[in-house]
């Protein structure tokens, strides 16, 4: 088997694992979370439009990955819960920023308290993208080693447990998704 056929087969198995996991989560009615794009405040003439969130779909959080309802895969970014902005408390700058992000989710049309994921990075599972991650030594490129928790090594698409960890010996995407889906379906006490 050639290297290209090996990567193509691994890409097909990875995409099928995503499709199967979505079907499994839907079958048992596990609640999905929202995926959104953060739209920063912008100035229009004399007024400033406040920040908001634009909906992109639904996802399930599976560790460091988000699995879309359409079986697309994302590296988890940041998350918030939609909430009223309230009056400034000036506790800290970071706290005020988090309150503004939660209010942006509310302005985006999400219900109070609903979880919203944003800043998620799409992970392409096509053979060409996987081949580029497999060309560098130990199956990692300089950018994908830090940015993407998913890569190609040892003939399979694998998931790193932490940023910068090697792909060799890491769990396959199929086993990672199966384990994380089982935790969503039947969480430990």
In this prediction, residue 134 carries a pLDDT of 64
Give the model's pLDDT for residue 147.
Answer: 61
Q: Which pLDDT score is estimated for 61?
A: 96
Domain extents for the chain?
A: 3-184
Least Cα distance to 148 among 62, 59, 95, 75 occurs for: 75
> Residue 112 and residue 33: Cα distance in Å, rounded?
13
Q: pLDDT under 50 in the chain at which residues?
A: 137-146
Q: What is the pLDDT, as a whole number, of residue 144?
A: 41
């Amino acid at each position: 088997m050639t290297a290209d056929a090996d990567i193509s087969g691994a890409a097909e198995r990875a995409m099928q694992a995503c499709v199967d996991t979505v079907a499994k989560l839907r079958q048992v009615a596990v609640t999905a979370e929202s995926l959104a794009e953060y739209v920063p405040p912008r100035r229009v003439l004399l007024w400033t439009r406040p920040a908001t969130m634009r909906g992109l779909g639904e996802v399930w959080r599976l560790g460091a990955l988000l699995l879309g309802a359409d079986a697309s895969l994302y590296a988890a970014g940041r998350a918030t819960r939609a909430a009223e902005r309230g009056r400034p408390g000036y506790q800290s700058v970071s706290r005020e920023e988090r309150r503004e992000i939660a209010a942006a989710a509310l302005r985006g049309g999400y219900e109070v308290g609903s979880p919203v994921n944003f800043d998620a990075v799409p992970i392409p599972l096509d053979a060409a993208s996987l081949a580029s991650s497999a060309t560098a030594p130990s199956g990692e490129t300089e950018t994908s080693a830090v940015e993407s928790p998913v890569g190609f090594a040892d003939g399979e698409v694998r998931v790193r447990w932490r940023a910068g960890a090697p792909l060799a010996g890491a769990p396959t995407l199929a086993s990672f998704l199966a384990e994380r889906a089982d935790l969503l379906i039947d969480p430990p006490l």
